[in-house]
Amino acid sequence: MSNPVRVGVAGLGRMGRLHAYNLAERIRRAELVRVVDAELQIAQEVADELRTDASSSFEDLVEDPTIDAVVLVTPTVLHVPMIVAAAAAGKHIFCEKPLGLDIAEAERALTASRSSGVKLQIGFHRRFDPNWKVARTHIETGELGHVMLFRTSLRDKGPPTDQFLSGPLRFLAETSIHDFDTARWMIGEVEEISVFGNAISEEVKRAGDVETAVIVLRFESGALGVIDNSRSARYGYECNTEVLGSRATVRVGNNRRNDVEWLHDGRAVRFLVDDYIGRWPHAYLAEMDDFVSAVADERSVSVTGEDGLAALMLAKAADLSLRAKRQVRVGHRFERGSVFYEIIE
């Protein structure tokens, strides 16, 4: 058996802790060497539980010559500088979405990883969910025929707290970005994007932000796409997708937490998940397993930094459409096997 991939995790919010747990307990080919959080106490608690080391300094990951890879689950603003530092130190990188909120910055991260020859994988976990994989296979085999419509809903429980109210770009780049990636991955490249948003609660209105977004895509293939996102669905967290084809249609359901029905007082109740952690534990494990395998087997990652940049560009175009109240056309070119988007008008 080859040596395990030695990994450090930076950022120990709920998502970071889940990645750390999977690396420590569920992925045989990985060894969790160290966990880092700005708050040392948190890092120490996680380290104790997972029987690994703790630190409050990201440098302790970058400068450790025994570490092969880092997993970045830090605030978005730290993604690019951490990628640049890790790449310079020759560490492979798994980075949560989005790459950042600024295109030039994100490009800098890509350049850094590319020139250092390290792998960079972005956390678009939905590509690793078996339901979406099955649906995509139905498209790829041609069974579905020509895609006419891609429809997807993503609902966060919310409502957003003050901390998350900083204009629609953040919502589009942090939440809708999953749908942009899913759209590209399942259907293909996008030509035009139109966004409509609203806010109901006073706090969100005051902040000039949106709670609900409807995003219409026109794909290069002629297919239409429609995404609806809510960050205040209140009832729970849900995600579903439907692809209408000229031969057949495929639908991925909300896939609730369990298949238990509770019958009481004239009601049949199904219990919903609260958030993405409850909805996708298997996909978070699968994406990390895949990243570790890519490092161990010295193969390409399945979700590239360029995929992260493409989705971010769509979020930017979406933000422009929302502000300018018009359709925004985007173009793309291929370079070295990767797609690069630009806003045309």
Neighbouring-strand partners of residue 72: 10, 95
Shorter beta-carbon distance to a second copy: residue 25 or 45: 25
Structure tokens at 120: 């960079």
Residue type, 345: E
**Shortest reach from residue 218's CB to a second copy, in Å:** 7
In the bound state with a second copy, the residue whose beta carbon lies nearer, of 76 and 194, is 194
Looking at the Cβ atoms of 27 and 93, the one nearer to a second copy is: 27
Min dist. Cβ of residue 288 to a second copy (A) = 13
**φ, ψ at 21 (rounded to 5°):** -60, -50
Q: Kindly state the smallest distance separating residue 319's Cβ from a second copy, in Å.
A: 17
Tokens of 121: 């994988």
* Phi and psi at residue 153, to the nearest 5°: -125, 135
For the bound state, the minimum distance from the C-beta of residue 343 to a second copy, rounded and expressed in Å, comes to 17
Token pair in block for residue 22: 């999977």
Burial label for 109, CB within 10 Å (0-12, 13-18, 19+), is buried
- CB neighbours of 142 closer than 8 A, spacing ≥ 6? none
How far is 103 from 50, CA to CA, in rounded Å? 36
Report the residue count for the chain. 345
Question: Closest CB to a second copy among 39 and 274?
Answer: 274
Q: How far is the CB of 70 from a second copy (least distance, A)?
A: 20
Closest approach of Cβ 200 to a second copy, in Å?
5
Cα separation, 224 vs 22, whole angstroms? 37
Distance CA 211, CA 317 (A): 18
Ramachandran quadrant class, 51 (left: phi over 0; alpha: psi -120 to 50; beta: rest): left
Shortest distance in whole angstroms from residue 54 CB to a second copy: 15
CB of 269 to a second copy, least distance (A): 5
Residue (83 or 217) nearer to a second copy, CB: 217
Q: Rounded distance, CA 74 to CA 83, Å?
A: 11
Burial-class residue 65 by CB neighbours within 10 Å (0-12, 13-18, 19+).
Answer: exposed
Q: How far apart are CA 253 and CA 204, in angstroms?
A: 30
Q: CA torsion, points 187, 280, 156, 21, in degrees to nearest 10?
A: -130
Nearer Cβ to a second copy (7/112): 7
Cβ closer to a second copy: 157 or 178?
A: 157
CB closer to a second copy out of 269 and 344 = 269
